[in-house]
Structure 1
Amino acid sequence: MMESRAATRSPRLVAVAVFDGVELLDVAGPMQVFSAATRFSGPADYEVCLVAAGRGLVRTSAGTPLFADRSWRELGPDIDTLIVPGGLGGGDAVTPLVDPELVGWLRQSPVTPRRIVSVCTGAHILAAAGLLDGRRATTHWSSTDILAAAHPDVEVAPDAIFVQDGEVWTSAGVSAGIDLALALVAADHGDNLARRVAQWLVVYLRRPGGQHQFSFYLGPRRSVSDRLGGLLAWIPGHLRDDLSIEALAERMNVSPRHLARIFRQETGSTPAVVVEQMRVQAAVDKLLHTDAPLPAVAAAAGFGSLASLHRAFARHHDLTPGEYRRRFTTSRRESSNERLRPAPGDAGGERGLDDGGGPG
């Protein structure tokens, strides 16, 4: 039955705009998602092509050449989705690569895709073309400040994995293009197909951590001194300890005021905010990887009460801990070893977990 329905559908043309210096995974990640979706939903679903200033080879940042099937000027009204990946400028600076020919075409093209998508620093290209003016958008965490400064008419969401604002979608860095592509498949066909694709690719349908690009478990975004770095590495193993600014200052043998100044200079944040972020991340790990009741999750993460856990989640995720567990645990469990191979016709329905007491 699925094959007969697929045979009656027109292909959704997905064009990926490439240029010299483009990030390879920005291109390959979404393309693989759409390829797998077509494999499961029927051969007439997504037709993916590479487009460039002219037909022929372009060289990626990895050095691997890609062949553009056609020029972007050849695209017609049949285009469904235009994807603009990112790239970085030359030298050591982390500077977004903005291809002038692509920007010029985007400004002047008479073609209007159903939706326009950027991956990673591709958002800078969309912004340069004026396509993000008055919209909310995101990009790789290392260039959010650059995007906000260069394009004040864009509302930059610095921690989002991806953002949809009308017909324009933008994603965070590199692998987040896979998250965005899965969301596009879900928007077109529902969660069941997107879930099967995620299972096949052995990735999360909705990655743990919600919409945040960055975990303090991986270290701060900015370079920090060895002294502060040692403290930040020590905190996750002692979340149930007294982590007040006074206790942390005593550990570093400085005054609380001096410690606050160090945190502000080196992390751009305060000790209290950093500690709370680490405790929230620890709670997230417990929620996703155990069936522990919420009071136990709160205690293990160092929150003094379940109410404190709820308040922290409201600040960081706009969800309650119970809602977070229900939303994100399904994709984790269905991506586990026993479910790596999607079963034919598997609906993969959502499952909720008992919150184990307390509001959820």
Structure 2
Amino acid sequence: MRARPVVVVGYDDAELLDIACITTSLETANRISRTATPYRISLASPGGRPVVCPPGLVLNAHLPLGSVVGPLDTLIVSGGWGHRRAAADPVLTGHVRRLARESRRVASVCTGASVLAAAGLLDGRRATTHWRFAPELAADHPGVAVDADPIYIRDGNVATSAGVTSALDLMIAFIEEDHGPQLGRQVARALVTYLQRPGNQAQISMFTAPAPAGPDVVRRVTEHVAADIAGDLGTEALAAVAGVSARHLTRLFLSHLGQPPGRYVRRARAEAAAHLLATTALPIGRVAARCGFGSAEALRHAFVERYGTTPSRHRATGSRAAS
């Protein structure tokens, strides 16, 4: 079996961890595999210049981006603070566009999605990026269906991953796709990371995200939800906390959060359950009770709706609880 050629595109102010998550994952597969070398990995940069990563760390590129020729197995564009300059560089985006035509699959990490978008490779596709930069990507490229929730998205032969370490999840998915689940599991174990988080798992939790924009009433209610996730969080009860009518509270939530209070609470409870499932050995029924669900079945329905997977599957693929 011939090694699959993989080219990683770097540029000044690229994020070192973005690049390392790609190269270390694939090189780990090379070292673990007993039958062949699965990947031939190259870092390409404009002019073949060293890639300067914050805070001044320097990576030597293997070759100039302009000299790379296909066919390639995978082309991956890294993200980083320099993504805006990279996306505005017509020579760089032109090479990315050219190489995409010669690649079996194309991917980006974090804000590398802006480079793919500038090259026209995300038009008409669903894509993700780091949650902080998702509004900017959507505004700059209205032809791209930006979804800030998943940790990675596959749309045809183009994959986009979210912030930084989500590249590990995408690379493990690629390794499993290319060489089977056993090698993927071995790489995950070697890197001491999740076996594989589902691609549609949320990037961030509403419990660690900044408080939502909006009036004090909305912030007060969302803080109350986070502080008493198993309590009475019906719309009438939340309206009493806020000191407004249930109808007015619903209008405020729809206006500022894009969803009614009941749906917000359901999502908050699902995220709290996801955290407990991944970090404790509590039985699923106990998790459901702690998060305000009336039963394990109610938790299951909310979990499938939110994450596209079941609580038991989430625990099997993402648990960090002590065995």
Q: Does 1:279 align with 2:272?
A: no
- Which secondary structure state, in structure 2, belongs to the residue aligned with residue 216 of structure 1? coil
1:18 pairs, out of 10, 15, 34, with 10
Q: Which amino acid aligns with 2:182?
A: N
Query: Given the alignment of the two structures, is residue 33 of structure 1 paired with residue 43 of structure 2, yes or no?
Result: no
Question: Residue 229 of structure 1: CA displacement?
Answer: 4.9
Equivalents in 2 of 1:25, 1:267: separation in Å?
32
Give 2:238's match in structure 1, choosing from 248, 254, 269. Answer: 248
1:228 CA drift (Å): 5.3
For residue 300 of structure 1, report the CA deviation from its aligned partner.
2.2
Q: CA deviation at 1:234?
A: 4.0
Secondary structure at the aligned position of 1:185 is classed as helix
Q: Judging changes above 3 Å, is the alpha-carbon distance between structure 1 residues 224 and 202 closer, same or farther for their aligned structure 2 residues?
A: farther
Runs of at least 5 residues in structure 1 that lack an aligned partner in the other structure: 1-8, 339-360
Given that 1:77 and 1:112 are in contact with CA atoms closer than 8 Å, whether structure 2 keeps it comes out as yes
| Letter of the 1:68 counterpart | A
Aligned-residue RMSD, C-alpha:
2.9
1:297 match: secondary structure: helix
Kept in 2: contact 1:134–1:154 (CA 8 A): yes
Aligned-partner SS, 1:217: coil
Quick check: 1:290 aligned with 2:290? no
Q: Distance in 2 between matches of 1:65 and 1:226?
A: 46
Which residue in 2 is equivalent to 1:98? Answer: 87
Structure 1 residue identity aligned to 2:80: G
Is residue 329 from structure 1 mapped to residue 315 from structure 2 by the alignment? yes
Distance 1:312 1:330, change over 3 A: closer
Where in structure 2 are the equivalents of 1:198-277 lying within 5 Å? 198-207=188-197, 211-220=201-210, 222=212, 229=219, 231-260=221-250, 263-264=253-254, 267-277=257-267
SS in 1 for 2:25: helix
In the alignment of these two chains, the number of paired residues is 320
Q: Measure, in 2, the Cα distance between the counterparts of 1:109 and 1:209.
A: 25
- Secondary structure in 2 matching 1:240: coil
Q: 1:318 to 1:65 in 2, by over 3 A?
A: same
**Structure 2 spans left out of the alignment, 5+ residues:** none
Q: How far is 1:237 from its partner?
A: 4.1
Q: Is the 8 A contact 1:14 1:82 kept in 2?
A: yes
Q: Percent identity?
A: 39
Partner of 1:171: 161
1:45 aligns with 2:27: no
Distance 2:85 2:282 in 1: 42
Q: Does 1:152 align with 2:103?
A: no
Q: Give, in whole Å, the separation in 2 of the partners of 1:134 and 1:160.
A: 18
Q: Quick one: which amino acid aligns to residue 288 of structure 2?
A: A
TM-score (norm 2): 0.86
Q: Deviations over 1:11-46 (max 9, x none)?
A: 222111111121221111111111111110156222
Deviation at 1:78, TM superposition (A): 4.6
CA contact (8 A) 2:6 2:75 kept: yes
Aligned counterpart, 2:77: 84
1:126 Cα deviation from its structure 2 partner: 0.9
